[in-house]
A and B are shown apart, each in its own frame.
Chain A
Amino acid sequence: MEHHSGLVLPNSGHNRDAEASKLGMWLFLFTEFLLFGGLFIVYMVYRMLNPEAFLTASYQLNVTLGAMNTVVLLVSSMTIAMSITAIQQGNSKRSIQLLVFTVAASLVFLVIKYFEWSAKIHHGLFPGMDVFNRLPHGEGLFFYLYFFMTGLHALHIIIGAIFIVVVIFRTKNGLLNADNYSHTENAGLYWHLVDMIWIYLFPLFYLIH
């Protein structure tokens, strides 16, 4: 931005403001919660209408894989939190290492998810496939919501991972450092959100019996 007269206002929108950027991220996270909130409402309504069908269908899911993914995400949440501490202490190298570990964990998550999904699709359980169409309505809804909600969640994993990769490059180039790490913090906030939504998805689909 060019400034033509000497006047610079004290609270300028062009100042770097870590608080503002964090506040903006928090507000954005609210919208994400509500986005999934709509789906949780739909899940609740149909679970109450079809309790038995949801139960039967949930036995089809692989609890072991789901639990592994939960562990993977929890660990990755820890590593990104550690990377924020590292950059606060001026240790950019350690911060990058921990971020790379987080991205790796996100890939592990997606690979496990891929195997889970392909097993289901292999059994014809994706909406529109033969087996799916023959399922009782309640079980069909379960799988439909399963694909919809975990799919939307996986999309958030991908976006979060891209966000972290950007932060890695910015840290490498010295743009983020001990004085200016709000992007790292925001990536962390976003990643915790992704983690937290999974913490709800996992019991809702895999564990409730």
Chain B
Amino acid sequence: MAATTELNFFQVKKGLFSWIFSVDHKRVGLLYLYSIMAFFLVGVILGVLMRLELLNPGKDLMEAKTYNQVFTMHGVIMIFLFIIPSIPAVFGNFFLPIMLGTDDVAFPKLNLLSWWIYVVGALMALSTLLFGDGPADTGWTFYAPYSVRTGTNVTMSVLAAFVLGFANILTGLNFIVTIHRLRTPGMTFFKMPLFAWALYATSWIQLLATPIIGITLLMIVAERVLGVGLFDPSIGGDPILYQHLFWIYSHPAVYIMALPAFGIISELLPTFTHRTIFGYKAIAFSSLAIAFVGYFVWGHHMFTTGMSGAARIVFSIMTFLVAIPTAIKVFNWVATLYKGSIDVQPPLLYALGFIFQFMIGGLSGLVLGALASDVHLHDTYFVVGHFHYVMFGGTGFAFFGALHYWYPKIWGRMYNKTIANIAFVIFFIGFNTLYFPMLISGLMGMPRRYYDYLPEFHLPNMISTYGSWILATGLVLMLGNLIAGFFGPKPEIGRNYWGGITLEWQTLSPPPLQNFDKMPEIPKGGPYDFENNY
């Protein structure tokens, strides 16, 4: 029988070139995984260095300018190289076609091209460390007029972000066409897994928002090169215009980072509660609603930079509207846990960690979305804390949850679950020790983006820095455990390690090149109908 002799996609071809020129979506997904993880670790090291500098007031480790460059590099790497591509480019690439019951994305060559563009963009971003006048010191937002005037190598960083945008657009375009054209017969839109829905909404944002930042960044470059005042007021430009253009993209981009994570959580919960997801359609539509409303809230980044009162009130109200579809998701996830037969495994722990931390992140977001309180909290550590709770505590945890969830499927191996649980606990404690004090020091009034602070902020900063060490320990343990799983005798994984119901669990682990060794069967009664299928 074919199934027993089937080669998996690792075995079909060997050698470096068979990877870096592969059009197989699974290999492209793994290429993304390895490169993204490498850049993530660079970003983590920069983050730990920043915390080290902030351990005590005054200068500990680096000059003010170096610190500015470090936080800019940390932001650029974490946002453009890690979190924006993370879940779609890795798990979307690998699992979207399998979950839809097809053998590849709609445009496999464009998919490979997107990885190459990503690598070129990443090398451009990192090249500022070695060449030119040093990496940018503007913050990842490249705010004009400083980004126009600073002597550091802003041009290259900005061009890198421009190039990276193309990689995102190609991934998004590929997913939309894949979802429209390649669903297996019988898989209607409302029989798709929720991860596919989340990627669908994400892809539309990638497609419709990314070009705006592309052209804005080109304008920054042109202004630096040609010296015409578009954004720099000293030569007649308007810096507020830059902020508008920047946030028209960068606010929706926050949902590019968050929506795929919502999709992951919607996959993890049914599998580990062995019951159907509560409110399938509500979750599916709320992704689209977030994507839509998310376009009209960019002004909440600019409450203190000189907009009319009416505009600020409108943006504030719109911001509160985003909370509705987001809360719909959270309520549905919690309701899914109710009366489920809960199986506590490492991926579920990450999902629960996500819900807990994302709640803190989301609610602190409402504090910032409210006009009156934002005036006080703007540009304080409260913003830093909020953002890391949403992005790292949210998307980052979902990413690692997904990694633990699909690990047996991707590699056909298994990590040590006890160590994975311990690593999660350390990671979770470290995360909250690191970021919760930031919310407090922000409320006390500590401004962000300085290498120094007043003595009264010493205690929360000290706790934060200790937290960064705990977090790093947890991270090393978690990754070490995952890597250790690659070695040693190969355990019997079978097709369906966790008892999941989506289509990827019907094929071999690892999957064969064409994804399925027999026709996938669509679950009767909906994508998460455990009752009729087990």
Contacts and interface: CB of A to CB of B under 8 A. Distances in A.
Interface of A: 1-14, 17, 19-20, 23-24, 27-28, 30-39, 41-42, 45, 49, 127-128, 137, 140-141, 144, 148
Contacts of B176: 23, 27
Contacts of A10: 184-185
A144 B232 CA distance: 15
B180 A23 contact: yes
Contacts of A49: 238
Contact of A137 (B178, B185, B208, B229): B229
B104 A24 contact: no
Nearest to A140: B228
A13 B228 CA distance: 47
A148 B221 CA distance: 12
Nearest to B185: A10
Interface residues of B, number: 59
Contact of B181 (A9, A20, A141): A20
A13 B106 contact: yes
Given A128-B226, A141-B229, 15 more contacts: A3-B514, A5-B514, A9-B102, A11-B102, A12-B102, A14-B104, A23-B177, A24-B174, A24-B177, A31-B210, A32-B211, A41-B245, A42-B230, A144-B222, A148-B222
Interface stretch (B212-220, B378-386, B452-460): B212-220
Nearest to B172: A27
B211 A4 contact: no
A92 to B, nearest CB: 25
B513 interface: yes
Contact of B183 (A8, A11, A37): A11
B107 interface: yes
B7 interface: yes
Given A38-B216, A39-B215, A17 B106 contact: yes
Contact of A11 (B174, B185, B238, B513): B185
B245 A6 contact: no
A127 B211 contact: no
B364 to A, nearest CB: 31
B241 interface: yes
Contacts of B226: 127-128, 144
5 contacts: A2-B12, A3-B514, A33-B211, A141-B229, A141-B230
B23 A1 contact: yes
B513 A2 contact: yes
Contacts of A19: 181
B97 interface: yes
Contacts of A39: 215
Contact of A13 (B6, B97, B216): B97
What are the 8 closest A-B residue pairs judged by CB atoms, nearest first?
A13-B104, A38-B215, A34-B211, A137-B236, A35-B211, A127-B226, A5-B2, A20-B181
A128 B227 contact: yes
Contact of A144 (B105, B228, B512): B228
B517 interface: yes
Interface string B503-530: 0000000001111111100000000000
B108 interface: yes
A35 B248 CA distance: 12
A38 B103 contact: no
A117 to B, nearest CB: 15
Contacts of B104: 12-14
Nearest to B13: A2
B211 A38 contact: yes
B12 A35 contact: no
B421 to A, nearest CB: 37
A59 B24 CA distance: 56
B207 interface: yes
A14 B241 CA distance: 45
Given A13-B102, A42-B241, A5 B184 contact: no
Contacts of A137: 229, 235-236
Interface in B92-109: 97, 101-108
Contacts of A141: 228-230, 236
B228 A7 contact: no
B169 interface: yes
A3 B9 CA distance: 11
A37 B212 contact: yes
Contacts of A36: 215
A66 B226 CA distance: 25
B41 interface: no
Nearest to A8: B514
A13 B106 CA distance: 5
A6 B211 contact: no
Given A14-B103, A30-B207, A45-B238, A9 B516 contact: yes
B215 A35 contact: yes
B262 to A, nearest CB: 23
Interface in B171-220: 173-174, 176-178, 180-185, 207-212, 214-216, 219
Contacts of A34: 208-209, 211-212
